Amino acid sequence: MSKVKTGKYTNFWERNRKSGGYLLRKTVMGYGISICRAILLFGLCFLILQPLLNKISVSFMPEQDLYDPIVISIPQHFTTQNYQFASGIMSYSKSLLNTFLISLTIAVVQVSMSTLAGYGFARFNFPLKRFWFACVMLLILIPPQVISTSLYLHFRYFDILGIFKMATGNTLNLRGSVLPYYMMSIGCMGLKNGLYIYMIRQFFRNIPKELEEAAYVDGCGTLKTFVRIMLPDAKPILTSCFLFAFVWQWTDGFYSSLFLGNISLLSIKLRQLPDSVGGYIGRMMGSASAAIVSVPYQNCMLATGTLMVIVPLVVLYLFAQKGFVESLSSTGIKM
């Protein structure tokens, strides 16, 4: 009997005839959908990668190739001089180290404070809880440029209840140091802090309260329950928030320019790169005046500097992609 069943209608066209043409229509539709999906994915990937591929191509072109109509994507005179110039203008080694240290410490502080705030919003009742959470949502919605003037004046003339002015006769100027940024991160007012609080709060809200109640029955206090029970379960969302905080801080130009203008950072150096090319080339040629640099070559140097800024992030993603994808998928399931 088994041979009869397995041998019955083994030919595709025979089975299609028996189904009244349904099998052929289904097969053709399946292949058509697969081809359309492949074309759509290829188009989306091309739209994302094409600007990056253009920057990579331009970064290896000398200035003469930029004006050559024959040269489109492949440099005719391959050179790495653009990277040498960009590295010298941006003080790349020093800027890379400073950016890494500041991004790492800021990300740790932001995630730590956001975790405490998010857990508090998820598990505890306190006066004006809804009002404070509405403030968190405003922190997400309102762009930081809106409060830039207030931030500038606050830290340019920093004082605590008039104590410094009473003691020294002057207020403190905290601009040009990392202290204001750390203070804002500790107070959950740093870059994207509102988003991290919201994500962590949503994650903790979906963890059953029975876990905490069981810990309380076993004699754990609130802090011990948070550290021993809740934090290990929150590793996925904490991983996501840390990587987001690190990457956004790495490429941030607003807060870095507002507070850290005296510190050599990649994001600040990148903004100054097009205007600094002429002076750097002039010094390389031994001239006291800046060299005249065309706008296309300035854009070429900007593309080169952009690649040098994002390459460390690509390397970070290659090492952290497994944990990052797992954290996002786990967070999506729980949320």
pLDDT digits (tens, 9 = 90+) for 217-254: 877 888 888 888 888 888 888 888 898 899 999 988 88
C-alpha 114/C-alpha 29 separation (Å) is 49
Average of per-residue pLDDT across 114-130: 89
Q: Helix 148-156 to helix 179-186 angle, to the nearest 10 degrees?
A: 120
Mean pLDDT of the chain: 83
Whole-number pLDDT of residue 51: 86
Average confidence (pLDDT) over 77-83: 88
Instruction: Please tell me which residue, 14 or 113, carries the higher pLDDT value.
Output: 113
CB 151 within 8 A of CB 257: no
For the segment 78-107, the average pLDDT, to the nearest whole number, is: 90
Decide which of 246 and 262 is more confident.
246
pLDDT tens for residues 276-306?
A: 888 887 887 777 677 778 888 888 888 999 9
Higher pLDDT, 244 or 10: 244
pLDDT at 2: 42
Neighbour-count burial for 16-29, b at 16+ CB within 10 Å, e otherwise: beeeeeebeeeeee
Helix or strand (DSSP H, E) at 122: helix 92-123
Residue 143 amino acid letter: P
**Cα angle for residues 206, 235, 141 (degrees, 5° grid):** 65
Q: What number of helices (H) and strands (E) belong to the chain? A: 18, 0
Tell me which of 28-37, 78-87, 177-186, 319-328 is least confident: 319-328
Answer yes or no: are the C-beta atoms of 113 and 197 closer than 8 Å: no
Backbone angles phi, psi at 137, to 5 degrees: -65, -35
pLDDT at residue 5 in the model: 46
What is the spatial distance between Cα 175 and Cα 183, in angstroms, rounded to a whole number? Answer: 12
Number of Cβ atoms within 10 Å of the Cβ of 42: 10
